[in-house]
Amino acid sequence: MATDEDADERELEQLRRRAYGPAADIARDPDALRRLHALEEVVRARATDRAVVDRAVVAHVASSVGAETSPVTTTTVDAAASPGPAPRTSSPGSAGPTTDPAPSPAVSWWRRRSVWVAALAGAAVGAAAIWGGMTLLTPQPAATLQAVSSTPEERLSAFDDGYAQSFGIEEGDAQRFETYRGVTVWVAPTRTGGSCLVVTTDAAGTYGGACVPRGMDPMFDLMVYPGMVPQVVEGLPVGSVARLTYRDGAIRVDEAIGTQFS
């Protein structure tokens, strides 16, 4: 059954084709351009919510494993199998039961050793479970793009004039990052204190991007559509999505290889 999220995704795909496809015409339709920006914000918020849920699941896995492995059961040695004197009972007329003699050194050493073995085994199992859960819930990025140098001329010519003006991008302070599959990735501040992640290409100029207010990490989904200019994205089949996220001074790239449009 189709959901509101599915409908938003389909509408966003259509608007992005109009914005970033070979026959882009969205610049002449202000209402469609505003709708595109609104839907990109909605999709970005949903992705943030999913990330929060993933972190909560990891925390739950860690706490559950810790609760299961924290009690340590000491291993006792059967009296029949260990050396040492048998316990004494009280004799008739005595004031009370006598205290068992201290366990022999051999028994004490074995009990201490058992406690450490059990503790180390429990810690190893807990660590393995936590690491396995985090690995499954946090996939490794397809690439991590680092910042590279650029000239003032490159920064000023990287963005189309209309695009930079629309979002208030401070072109002179833009930071360039390593090339990804034939596209150049930039992060630039805005006049209002926010930041934009922008993708540019030699063939299409400013291909697309996303801007966020201060305190948020900009993110852009680079989708491969039928009929897309071949030079835009190299090596990804139609229907794939590359998510570019700026965080901590680098660009994280996550790829989803798909065929939904084929």
Residues 53, 137 contacting (CB under 8 angstroms): no
Task: Return the amino acid letter for 104.
Answer: S
Residues 82, 110 contacting (CB under 8 angstroms): yes
- pLDDT at residue 70, as a whole number: 52
pLDDT in tens, the chain (262 residues): 668 888 888 888 888 778 766 677 777 888 888 888 888 888 777 776 666 666 666 666 566 656 555 554 544 445 444 455 555 554 555 555 555 555 555 555 445 555 555 556 565 555 555 555 444 445 789 999 999 999 999 988 888 877 888 889 999 999 999 999 988 999 999 999 999 999 988 777 788 889 999 999 999 998 887 777 555 778 888 888 899 999 999 999 999 887 554 4
- pLDDT at residue 96, as a whole number: 52
- pLDDT at residue 114, as a whole number: 56
For the chain, how are helix, strand and coil distributed in percent, rounded to 5? 40, 20, 40
How many Å apart are CA 14 and CA 36, to the nearest integer?
A: 9
Indicate the helix (H) or strand (E) that contains 196. Answer: strand 195-201
How many Å apart are CA 111 and CA 117, to the nearest integer?
A: 10
Phi, psi of 208 (to 5 degrees): 170, 175
How many Å apart are CA 200 and CA 195, to the nearest integer?
A: 16
